[in-house]
């Protein structure tokens, strides 16, 4: 029996052994930590916390600035790396004793965290799931073991087939912050490649995706099988990659490759003074965080846009698509590193560590823009829980105003298309405001009939519920997302605009009228990202707008608004060329501020 004096001399318990459950063997404990571990196992505890005087387990001495905290401990990775005070002859195991105790508990199924007992916040932080201390978990160990086994099998296979070295998956001790910094460094290399060089990278990515179609579909199939019965049909639909999808993705990437160079485009040029010229150029944003639910197809699309525009990427995919995402990511980073060794594999990282979305959202100092691709709840959560700028939209409460001078055939056709073309889309119409005059001449009846025949359920607003006897709508600001909408009566376009401003989500609104002057008023006065005259709201889309690949649709009012293409991934940079010009309190310089032709 290994009995060692306790580390903390203040502790009352010093040595002993406990008899756990009736049938279990007598297990030794050698200090307060191991006693705690045994108790936690016995109690089948949800969590064991071992408090110490440092923030967790480090890759070296905690006092050494080059040491990094390990957030998730894997013995197979970390054992050879870590030196945490050798057990001396007399005992005082220190961190080693704590790690042994933690591993004892974790191995028996009790998740354990070693964290600092100083300050007093860490217990609450750990319990609330924040990334403090070092986590030991049985699951982590098992999944690591699986990963390790698979990797070895793969390496063996690759060796046999002569394939390239395996991609380095982000190991548990690389925090998202480090990955973001590495992505920025890699992006600085990438953005200085020529347009042709970045085109070549994308061609390689497209080719490799096609080459690995079979494996990708197999991994995806495994994800789909695992998700069966756990996610709804809509999510399942997004998760599944259809056989022709890989070809489509590769084609899409080739078309992004061929786009004209988005970088270093001269947006303005001005002579500031004699011999001093200022240019404003397009430039990459830097590091983007993309968070997506299901949809593994979003990964290569977004990666391609990032490569074209010179940006680094952190990707956080949904758990349900983890195998598809892991393989897609691996194929892409290997293709990048092969086509452009100077850029390497850290341009795009898939976050697979313990860090959850909320941990990533705190990295506003190293991430420049967050782009959520998923349902309203995800987007809304992200928008409300980060200081990183977010490109996206939570609601899509689009309005259609049918004016007194509307051509009713056109109104019916646009109304039906706006709702039924894809009822769950953010650009589907949720409310039709009808001028009351249409009620008097039978056109309203025609519109209601057309909608009813198209299978649309109509709810009533405050007025129409009374006057037309419609079932009242849930609220004035409701996104149905189904084949249903609210039909409300108004007496004028002014009333319609006020209603839109009060209840809309500033996404897309449309007027149907033959009165051109009135339509121009509507286009000018309605304060939404997209405002249409005599066209379905469903046109509010990056592809239909001719933007090429779509990054998202933004209802934010800064940076990018409405459907966003690759320009949403760009910022600007000012470049000035002089001949030794100084300011000297603006006395000796004569400003000319003369605009110059861009080319």
Q: Do 497 and 444 touch, CB atoms closer than 8 A?
A: no
**Strands 348-350 and 312-317, bridge-based pairing:** parallel
CA dist., res. 549 & res. 540, Å (int): 14
- Smaller CB separation from a copy of itself, 96 or 259: 259
Binding-site size, a copy of itself (CB under 8 A): 75
Site string for a copy of itself, 130-169 (x = CB under 8 A): ----------------------------------------
For position 531 contacting a copy of itself by CB under 8 A, the verdict is yes
Give me the residues paired with residue 562 across strands.
554
Closest C-alpha among 199, 194, 204, 196 to residue 307: 199
Query: Does 571 contact a copy of itself by CB under 8 A?
Result: yes
Q: Which of 583, 590, 597, 599 binds a copy of itself (CB under 8 A)?
A: 583
**Shortest gap between Cβ of 253 and a copy of itself (angstroms)?**
19
Using the minimum distance from each CB to a copy of itself, give the nearer residue, 29 or 401.
Answer: 401
Q: Does 276 bind a copy of itself (CB under 8 A)?
A: yes
Structure tokens at 36: 């705690």
Q: Is 455 in the site for a copy of itself (CB under 8 A)?
A: no
Here the tokens at position 107 are 């191995």
Residue list 504-523, contact with a copy of itself (CB under 8 A):
512, 519, 523
Does residue 69 touch a copy of itself according to CB under 8 A? no
Query: Among 92-100, 187-195, 331-339, 351-359, which window interacts with a copy of itself (CB under 8 A)?
Result: 187-195
* Residue among 109, 116, 114 nearest 134 (CA): 114
Alpha-carbon distance 363 to 537, whole Å?
36
Task: Indicate the pairing of strand 16-19 with strand 26-29.
Answer: antiparallel
585 binds a copy of itself (CB under 8 A): yes
Q: How far apart are CA 361 and CA 289, in angstroms?
A: 9
CB closer to a copy of itself out of 338 and 407: 407
Tokens of 512: 């149907």
- Binding status of residue 477 toward a copy of itself by CB under 8 A: no
407 touches a copy of itself by CB under 8 A: yes
Query: Is 272 within 8 Å of 593 (Cβ atoms)?
Result: yes
- Least distance in angstroms from the C-beta of 543 to a copy of itself: 8
What is the footprint of a copy of itself within residues 188-207 (CB under 8 A)?
Answer: 188, 191-192
Taking CB under 8 A as the rule, does residue 527 contact a copy of itself?
yes
Does 529 participate in binding a copy of itself (rule CB under 8 A)? yes
Minimum Å distance from CB 504 to a copy of itself?
13
Scanning residues 340 to 369, which ones bind a copy of itself (CB under 8 A)?
368-369
Q: Which stretch binds a copy of itself (CB under 8 A): 183-191, 198-206, 217-225, 295-303?
A: 183-191
User: Is-contact 592 569, C-beta < 8 A?
Assistant: no
Phi-psi region of 593 (alpha: psi -120 to 50; beta: other; left: phi over 0): left
Q: How far is the CB of 131 from a copy of itself (least distance, A)?
A: 19
Partners of 18 in beta bridges: 27
DSSP state of 537: G
At its nearest, how many Å lie between a copy of itself and the CB of residue 187?
A: 9
Q: How far apart are CA 522 and CA 303, in angstroms?
A: 39
Question: What is each CA distance from 58 to 34, 76, 104, 576, in whole angstroms?
Answer: 20, 15, 19, 46
Q: Which of residues 47-66 bind a copy of itself (CB under 8 A)?
A: none
> Angle, nearest 10°, between helix axes 493-503 and 516-525?
20
Query: Measured from the CB atom, is 164 or 582 closer to a copy of itself?
Result: 582
Q: For the CB of residue 294, give the shortest distance to a copy of itself in the complex, in Å.
A: 22
If one asks whether residue 258 binds a copy of itself (CB under 8 A), the answer comes out as: no
Contact between 338 and 164 under an 8 Å Cβ cutoff? The reply is yes
Query: Does 596 engage in binding with a copy of itself (CB under 8 A)?
Result: no
269 touches a copy of itself by CB under 8 A: no
If you count them, how many residues does the chain have?
A: 599
d(C-alpha 386, C-alpha 364), whole Å:
8
Shortest Å distance, C-beta 346 to a copy of itself: 15
Q: Which is nearer to a copy of itself, 276 or 357 (CB)?
A: 276
Report the site for a copy of itself in 283-312 (rule: CB under 8 A): 283, 285-286
**In this structure, are residues 561 and 508 in contact, taking their beta carbons and an 8 Å threshold?**
no
Between 418 and 437, how does the x/- string for binding to a copy of itself read (CB under 8 A)? ---x----------------
């Amino acid at each position: 029996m290994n009995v060692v004096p306790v580390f903390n001399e203040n502790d009352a318990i010093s040595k002993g052994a406990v008899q756990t459950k009736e049938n279990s063997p007598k297990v030794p404990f050698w200090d307060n930590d191991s006693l705690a571990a045994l108790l936690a196992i016995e109690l089948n505890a949800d969590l064991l916390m071992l408090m110490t005087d440092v923030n967790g387990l480090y890759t070296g001495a905690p006092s050494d600035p080059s040491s990094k905290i390990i957030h998730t401990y894997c013995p197979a990775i970390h054992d050879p790396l870590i030196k945490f005070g050798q057990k001396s002859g007399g005992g005082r195991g220190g961190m080693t004793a704590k790690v042994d105790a933690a591993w004892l508990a974790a191995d028996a199924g009790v998740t354990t965290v070693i964290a600092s007992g100083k300050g007093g916040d860490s217990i609450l932080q750990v319990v609330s799931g924040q990334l403090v201390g070092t986590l030991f978990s049985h699951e982590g160990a098992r999944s690591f073991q699986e990963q390790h086994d698979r990797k070895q099998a793969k390496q063996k296979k690759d060796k046999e087939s002569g394939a390239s070295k395996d991609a380095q998956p982000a190991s548990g001790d690389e925090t998202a912050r480090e990955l973001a910094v590495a992505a920025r460094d890699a992006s600085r290399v990438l953005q200085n490649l020529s347009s042709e060089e970045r085109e070549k990278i994308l061609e390689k990515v497209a080719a490799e995706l096609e080459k690995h179609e079979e494996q990708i579909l197999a991994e995806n199939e495994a994800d789909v099988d695992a998700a069966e019965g756990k996610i709804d049909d809509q999510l399942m639909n997004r998760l599944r990659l259809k056989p022709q999808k890989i070809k489509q993705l590769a084609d899409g990437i080739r078309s992004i490759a061929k786009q004209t160079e988005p970088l270093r485009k001269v947006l303005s040029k001005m002579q500031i003074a004699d011999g001093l010229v200022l240019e404003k150029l397009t430039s990459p944003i830097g590091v983007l965080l993309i968070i997506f639910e299901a949809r593994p197809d979003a990964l290569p699309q977004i990666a391609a846009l990032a490569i074209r525009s010179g940006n680094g990427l952190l990707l956080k995919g949904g758990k349900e698509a983890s195998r598809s995402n892991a393989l897609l990511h691996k194929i892409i980073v290997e293709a990048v590193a092969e086509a452009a060794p100077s850029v390497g594999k850290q341009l795009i990282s898939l976050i697979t560590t313990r860090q959850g979305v909320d941990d990533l959202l705190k990295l506003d100092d190293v991430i420049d823009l967050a782009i959520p691709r998923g349902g309203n709840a995800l987007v809304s959560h992200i928008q409300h829980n980060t200081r990183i700028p977010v490109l996206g939209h939570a609601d899509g409460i689009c309005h259609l105003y049918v004016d007194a001078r509307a051509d009713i055939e056109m109104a019916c056709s646009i109304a039906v298309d706006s709702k039924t073309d894809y009822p769950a889309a953010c650009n589907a119409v949720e409310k039709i405001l009808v001028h009351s005059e249409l009620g008097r001449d039978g056109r309203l009846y025609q519109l209601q009939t057309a909608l009813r025949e198209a299978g649309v359920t109509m709810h009533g607003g405050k007025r129409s519920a009374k006057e037309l006897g419609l079932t009242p709508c849930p609220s004035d600001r409701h996104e149905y997302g189904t084949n249903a909408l609210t039909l409300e009566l108004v007496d004028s376009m002014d009333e319609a605009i006020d209603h839109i401003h009060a209840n809309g989500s500033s996404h897309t609104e449309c007027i149907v009228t033959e009165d051109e002057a009135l339509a121009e008023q509507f286009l000018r006065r309605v304060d939404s990202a997209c405002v249409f005259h005599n066209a379905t709201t469903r046109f509010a889309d990056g592809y239909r707008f001719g933007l090429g690949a779509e990054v998202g649709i933004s209802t934010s009012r800064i940076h990018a608004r409405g459907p966003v293409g690759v320009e949403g991934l760009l910022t600007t940079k000012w470049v000035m060329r002089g001949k030794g010009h100084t300011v000297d309190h603006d006395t000796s310089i004569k400003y000319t501020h003369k605009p110059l032709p861009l080319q």
